[in-house]
Amino acid sequence: VYALAVEASPDLQQWRVVQPAAQVLSLEHQGQRLLNTEIDLGSVRASYLRITALAGSAVPELQSATVTSVTQQIAAQAMQWSEPISPASCESQHCDYALPHNLPLEQAQITLSEPNTVATIALLGQVDTLPTPHRHRHLLHGPVKALRHKTEPASAASAAPTWWPLANANVYRLIRVQTTGPISQLGPTPPTLRVGAHTRSLVFLARGPGPYRLVWGGTGAAPSAMPLAQLMPARQVGDSLPSDMATVAMPAASAAAPSPASQPNPAVVTRPSTHRSLWLWAVLLAGVGLMGFMAWVLLRGAKANASPPAPR
């Protein structure tokens, strides 16, 4: 019987205990044998394992060791591709393509019009410059000053769009295909563009038959999102999600008018009541009169006490 401790390390320098006290035994008595040579490591991830004998135990003579690992393969989500997009505008060295709204770009395919075409291109993206509604947060408490050069117009910086190299899963308004030479290197007809992104799944847990009402935009509501494993405990890794066709119906008033939560509350002007003012003045005057009467009584009593007694 051996009492062992098992440690794990990624680089033989830093060790952490994964099994503080494990018992390994091999007993034989009257032809019966009791064997326990497995140590549960609790799905630890490490490059090296170290076995140390606890106090009062010896290190077993190991002939070999076998590590059993479990690998989970998660199926990759399908890439969803857009229809071919024609250029919105072209110049001598580039073409611009308008992308679908709110698309997290991950891949792009360029379809050339002519075979045997070789060219070096650069892909640039332009983000949406339209202002998005947001709540104002007052973070600055001091004065703010802005300086501008006399020869620079006020809208010079905002008028010129900025193009950036593409980044994975970013949302762009336009994509620019730019060549090192003339754009005609890509053929007499400008190429078309297809963009792809992985599909996103949003799972709702509902009770009872539909239709269901979804409410969003409530800043005071507590977050109710939870992991998929907690939402569907019986689901195994790799199982397909239950899907069904659904349509979204927006109320006519909500679709035409902005949400009441996004509109500022109108200021309510309160006018003081005339009757309430009269009552307040009456109470105030009565209080002043009562205080004057009490002062007169006190002064009269003081004078009576101060006057000398009449002679007998």
SS3 (DSSP) at 7: strand
| pLDDT band, residue 15 (cuts 50/70/90) | very high
Which of 23-27, 178-182, 230-234, 272-276 is least confident?
272-276
State yes or no: pLDDT of 244 exceeds 90: no
Q: Which are the contacts of 212, defined by CB distance < 8 A and separation ≥ 6?
A: 204, 206
What is the value of pTM for the model shown?
0.42
- The 10s digit of each residue's pLDDT in 245-303 is 677 777 665 444 444 444 444 444 445 555 667 777 888 888 888 888 888 888 877 77
Q: What is the pLDDT of residue 83?
A: 92
Q: In whole angstroms, how far apart are CA 214 and each of 151, 204, 250, 252? A: 53, 10, 10, 15
- Percentage, residues of the chain above pLDDT 90: 10
Q: Where are the domains of the chain?
A: 2-53, 79-129+161-198
Compare 295 and 223 and report the one with higher pLDDT: 295
What does the pLDDT look like over 140-199, one tens digit per residue?
Answer: 444 444 444 445 454 444 455 677 788 777 888 899 999 988 999 898 899 999 999 887
221 falls in which pLDDT band (50, 70, 90)? low
Region 43-55: mean pLDDT is: 87
Residues in contact with 93: Cβ distance below 8 Å, sequence separation at least 6, in sequence order: 178, 179, 180, 181, 182, 183
The arithmetic mean of pLDDT across residues 201-207, rounded, is 74
Q: Tell me what pLDDT residue 91 has.
A: 92
Please report which residue ranges of 156-210 form alpha helices under DSSP H. 156-159
d(CA 292, CA 256): 67
Asked if residues 16 and 7 have their Cβ atoms less than 8 Å apart, the reply is yes
* Contact residues for 269 (Cβ-Cβ < 8 A; gap 6+): none
